[in-house]
Amino acid sequence: MLPKEIISTAAIARRVAELSKEIDGRLPPGPLTVVGVLRGAFMFMADLVRAIPRPLTCDFLGVRSYGDATVSSGVVEITSDLASPIDGRHVLLIEDIADTGLTLRYLQDLLLARHPASLHTCVLLAKPTLPASIKIDFVGFEAPTAFVVGYGLDAAQLYRNLPYIGAIEPSKA
């Protein structure tokens, strides 16, 4: 049985188009380095970079904090680092979901230590319970309280291929 749709494919496409305009309008002019967090952000990032009307490069960070569980382990592990330096570059960090903020804060600190010209963050989904101290520049949608999958997000590596965002019971993950 497929997860219950909570954010449609059409709604995602509309919001990605809006975000690309917001990003292009608010970030400093010139080339951009977009850093996607693997694996969950890959679909969102692919759609977003195609819609941003400026020169850009793409890079990726592999990160693990959930494993196959439905709650964060509380430990962020880098599984794959950037392929290119970001020193002096305008960087846009793309994440699938900001839940506790632990991973996002860790990645912001990691990237800031590499001296980018600027660092901005964009998340597809942000939980309303996210601590106010977590800085996010661009948010696609407020995340529901349900466990979400689809459009790159997974439960034990399943459901990433859904074109929409759906909800499942954590016990079924």
Tokens describing residue 95: 């994440």
Which one from 47, 96, 99, 154 is the annotated catalytic residue? 99
Residue type, 117: A
- Per-residue three-class SS string for 100-127: CCHHHHHHHHHHHCCCCCEEEEEEEEEC
Residue 99 is among the residues annotated as catalytic for this protein: yes
Give the chain's radius of gyration (CA, Å). 15
Tokens describing residue 68: 């196959």
The three-state secondary structure class of 87 is: coil
Active site residues: 99
